[in-house]
Chains A and B, each alone.
Chain A
């Protein structure tokens, strides 16, 4: 079973930006509704494989995309 995490952002605009950067970097990612227990946003967050976590951080920091946190999906 694949272990997933979600990256949460301040806004759906930031999520979209992040998803595009991750796609360009060849990292598997999927947009999904932001879990209500983690954020109040109406929009989305980015689901990644937990195994890619460090690469994801690296890509987002390099791209200048601010994220709120990365949480493991139950």
Chain B
């Protein structure tokens, strides 16, 4: 990939994926230039076509998460909004919530805000080495535990939590399980029925290869969605004679015009993944291979190269590392400026995860690989890191 005449390498797919697959950009253009209508608001062909594009995206998301009813896919502007809808929608004053020490700020901040503002209480279960301690998690439950929020895959370290085990625990304790799948959707096969997940939040622009501004909630087929209070109210194109919010899915949670252009691209992105032989498994296997190759090669060639979690736990193509004696921000800056290699440094909006792993407050350099990255790009990056490791400061 070239940018301003410089060959670039993009290793920041956990922030947002790039490039987008064939069809995703075209779908956005098709919506903007041909379809053009507001989904669900009028009876003409443009509105109907827009509605069909949105519905098709719901079907694709439902298939990806193992949900039968596509109306149980609620479209939001990103995973953060979806997580806020679930967290703020479910918890009431006096409730208790359990979460993990690997959370992103998109879950821990709404929880902390509700602790301060609404009088809920929160227990953070420890994650030694990155994986949640299930016994400790079980001990965290109280009689008033209503919600368990689990980061399925860490954006900072790529560690995947055992959703199925946690799901069984939540069923036994009659607590709602909310999985933050921002970093796992489209990367790890997910079956929310099998894993007893009640609600899953996803980002549309990361592993699902849609545009930014897309994401949502998937509500399992047998979960009583009325336990979630809407965050916003307004026009839905349905029950227009009533001044009250509709009480059915997805309208109850989807007020205002949807991002139909972005959702069209999201639909194409998901369908691209589903069209691959073995679908999501192919993506995961490619990312695992790239991460494993990078860790091995950088470990051999780059002086002072350090990773922080066991290699077998890094399951999403995300690798956090440091080079001894170098600031992460300096490494990322030199990679970008001198070598055209784009990645992210710092705390990755996940201070809890960095505290857990022991990389707070300095943070790490994070490479996050995508389906279009190659071993050759990793070779170039390792060469660049070799140079940076032995360079002096400026």
Interface residues of A (CB under 8 A from B): 10-17, 19-20, 31-34, 40-44, 64
Contact = CB atoms under 8 A, between A and B. Distances in A.
B55 A43 contact: no
Contacts of B239: 10-11, 40-41
A43 B40 contact: yes
Interface in B44-98: 44, 47-48, 51-52, 54-55, 68-71
B51 A13 contact: yes
Contacts, number: 77
Interface secondary structure of A, over-half rule = mixed
A43 B52 contact: no
A41 B251 contact: no
A46 to B, nearest CB: 10
A42 B41 contact: yes
Contacts of B51: 12-13, 15-16, 43-44
B240 A42 contact: yes
A44 B52 CA distance: 12
B39 interface: yes
Contact of B238 (A11, A17, A33): A11
Interface string B205-217: 0000000000000
A33 B42 CA distance: 6
B237 A11 contact: yes
A10 to B, nearest CB: 6
B240 A13 contact: no
Interface of B: 39-44, 47-48, 51-52, 54-55, 68-71, 235-242, 246, 248, 250-251
5 contacts: A10-B239, A42-B238, A43-B51, A44-B40, A44-B47
Given A17-B71, A31-B48, A12 B39 contact: yes
Nearest to B238: A11
Contacts of B54: 16
Contact of A34 (B43, B55, B69): B43
Contacts of B240: 40-42
A40 B240 CA distance: 5
A51 to B, nearest CB: 23
B237 A42 contact: yes
Given A13-B51, A42-B238, 8 more contacts: A11-B40, A11-B238, A14-B71, A16-B52, A19-B52, A41-B237, A41-B239, A64-B69
B42 A13 contact: no
Contacts of B44: 33
Contact of B48 (A10, A13, A44, A64): A44
A34 B241 CA distance: 13
A18 to B, nearest CB: 10
A20 B58 CA distance: 13
Contacts of A31: 43, 48
Q: What are the 6 closest A-B residue pairs judged by CB atoms, nearest first?
A: A33-B43, A12-B40, A40-B241, A11-B238, A16-B55, A31-B48
